């Protein structure tokens, strides 16, 4: 049984295997409609329970499609609909019940501890669908998208992140170590990645490159990633933070400092960190990026269920 909680815990060769499988499966689906099942229905009879403590559009729909296309089924819950969420049942007992009825558990939460507690008590795989320090399914899918568009291994590309230090960036940093790519991070000094993740990078003898000047950060970039400056449940003075990020707003002018064919990616939902003419411009691939989550998450599910070819 394999869990999918943080990219840092998964061997690079397994991450590569997931991407390779997703590539094959995506190709094979070219002529199939949304709910047609992949040949062989590899997850026939399996049920994924997905539970959300926070809002989600893409993650919930893409996981639903992913398990359906593999021949299985999904049950989507809000934790406040369960005794757990009302304070009337423990994680340990809830995990036992989930393991009794379901075959896999995808969980979006505001607590990394809860993910680990569930892992402790579950007898089925757990997939992290976003926690305070990790959004691994998003970022693995983003690596897939970058390689699909650029037609090159990501290790040969210069990747830039403009924005806050958050769960998506932490997973992107982990990906930069696992896939060996150059990662420039552009943000105000106060919002640089935390010591814990920087120490982990160092421990792995790798480097990330920090810039407090957005033009310098994007120089020669092949890909610019961004995310909302204010994450869900970010408990800050929102107006103040947005002001602090003002010069990091992604405009055409800033894109002009990167490579000519630099692409723009964003996990969505978006805030005001990027202007429409970039987000909806010809170098933006955000919709393809969102769609690819279905394809990559299918291979993540197969990995967790021990069925990756
Ligand atoms: N990118 C992403 O995870 O989107 P949702 O919050 O809509 O799931
Ligand atoms: N960093 C964002 C990602 C949303 C998909 C958040 O946590 O809200």
What pLDDT score does 13 carry?
Answer: 98
Instruction: State the pLDDT confidence band at 233, using cuts at 50, 70 and 90.
Output: confident
Nearest CA to ligand 1 atom 1: 267
H or E element at residue 62: helix 58-69
Region 140-160: mean pLDDT is 98
- Ligand 2 pocket, residue 141 CB under 6 Å: no
Ligand 1 nearest-atom number relative to CA 54 = 6
Evaluate whether 299 touches 148 at the Cβ level (below 8 Å). no
pLDDT band at 282 (very low <50, low <70, confident <90, very high): very high
Among protein residues, the one with the nearest Cα to ligand 2's atom 2 is: 231
pLDDT tens digits, one per residue of 134-145: 999 999 999 999
- From the CA of 134, which ligand is nearest? 2
Cα 104 to Cα 99: distance, rounded to the nearest angstrom: 8
Residues 270-285: what's their mean pLDDT? Answer: 97
Is the pLDDT score of 309 beyond 90? no
Ligand 1 center–CA 129 separation, angstroms: 9
Q: Nearest bound ligand to CA 267?
A: 1
Write the pLDDT tens digit of every residue in 80-112: 999 999 999 999 999 999 999 999 999 999 999
Residue 284 pLDDT: 98
Among protein residues, the one whose CA lies closest to atom 4 of ligand 1: 58
DSSP code per residue over 257-296: TS-TT-EEEE-S---SSB-HHHHTSTTB-HHHHHHHHHHH
pLDDT of res. 102: 98
Distance 68 CA to ligand 1 centre (A): 19
Report the CATH number of the 7-135+293-304 domain: 3.40.50.1370
Distance of alpha carbon 134 from alpha carbon 110, whole angstroms: 10
- Whether the pLDDT of residue 75 is over 90: the answer is yes
- Confirm whether 7-135+293-304 and 136-289 share one CATH topology: yes
Question: Taking residues 250-254, what's their average pLDDT?
Answer: 98
- Distance in Å, CA 64 to ligand 2 centroid: 19
Percent of all residues in the chain with a pLDDT value above 90, rounded to a whole number: 99
Answer yes or no: is pLDDT of 3 > 90: yes
CATH class of 136-289: alpha beta
Give the ligand 2 atom nearest the CA of 233. 8
Residue 164's closest CA among 46, 263, 95, 267? 267
CB 299 within 8 A of CB 271: no
* Distinct helix (H) and strand (E) counts, the chain: 12, 9
Q: 184 pairs with which residues across the strands?
A: 160, 209
Pair 210, 192: CB distance under 8 Å: yes
Average pLDDT, the chain: 97
Ligand at minimal distance from the CA of 232 is 2
Q: 198 exposed, middle or buried (CB, 10 Å; 0-12, 13-18, 19+)?
A: middle
CA atoms within 13 A on the CB side of 64: 12
| Ligand 1 neighbours by CB, cut-off 6 Å | 56-59, 130, 138, 267-268
- Do residues 139 and 16 lie in contact, with contact meaning Cβ atoms separated by under 8 Å? no
CB 96 within 8 A of CB 102: no
**Å from CA of 111 to ligand 1 middle:** 17
| Per-residue pLDDT, 133 | 96
Q: Check: pTM over 0.85? Answer yes or no.
A: yes
- Residue in 161, 238, 267, 293 to alter for ligand 2 test, most ligand atoms within 8 A of Cβ: 267
Average pLDDT, stretch 273-277? Answer: 98
Ligand 2 within 6 A of 271 CB? no
Domain limits, the chain: 7-135+293-304, 136-289
* Any ligand 2 atom below 6 A from CB of 267: yes
């Amino acid at each position: 049984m394999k869990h999918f909680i943080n990219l840092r815990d998964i061997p690079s060769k397994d991450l590569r295997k997931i991407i390779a499988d997703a590539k094959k499966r995506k190709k094979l689906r070219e002529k199939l409609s949304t709910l047609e099942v992949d040949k062989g229905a590899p997850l026939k009879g399996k049920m994924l329970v997905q539970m959300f403590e926070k809002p989600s559009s893409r993650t919930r729909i893409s996981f639903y499609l992913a398990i359906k296309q593999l021949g299985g089924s999904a049950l989507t819950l809000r934790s406040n609909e369960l005794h757990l969420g009302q304070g009337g049942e423990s994680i340990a007992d809830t995990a036992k019940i989930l393991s009794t009825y379901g075959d896999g558990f995808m969980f979006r939460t505001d607590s990394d501890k809860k993910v680990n507690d569930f892992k402790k008590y579950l007898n089925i795989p757990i997939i992290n669908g976003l926690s305070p320090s990790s959004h691994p399914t998003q970022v693995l899918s983003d690596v897939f998208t970058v390689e699909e568009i650029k037609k090159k291994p990501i290790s040969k590309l210069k990747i830039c992140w403009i924005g806050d230090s958050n769960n998506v960036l932490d997973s992107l940093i982990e990906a930069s170590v696992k896939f060996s790519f150059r990662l420039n991070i552009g943000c105000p000094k106060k919002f640089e990645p935390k010591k814990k993740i920087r120490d982990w990078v160092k421990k792995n003898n790798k480097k990330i490159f920090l810039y407090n000047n957005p033009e310098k950060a994007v120089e020669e970039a092949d890909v610019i990633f961004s995310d909302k400056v204010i994450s869900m449940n970010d408990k800050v003075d929102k107006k103040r933070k947005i002001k602090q990020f003002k010069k990091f707003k992604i405009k055409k002018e800033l894109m002009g400092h990167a490579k000519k064919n630099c692409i723009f990616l964003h996990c969505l939902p978006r805030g005001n960190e990027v202007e429409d003419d970039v987000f909806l411009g010809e170098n933006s691939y955000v919709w393809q990026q969102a769609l690819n989550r279905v394809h990559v998450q299918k291979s993540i599910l197969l990995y967790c269920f021990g069925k990756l070819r």
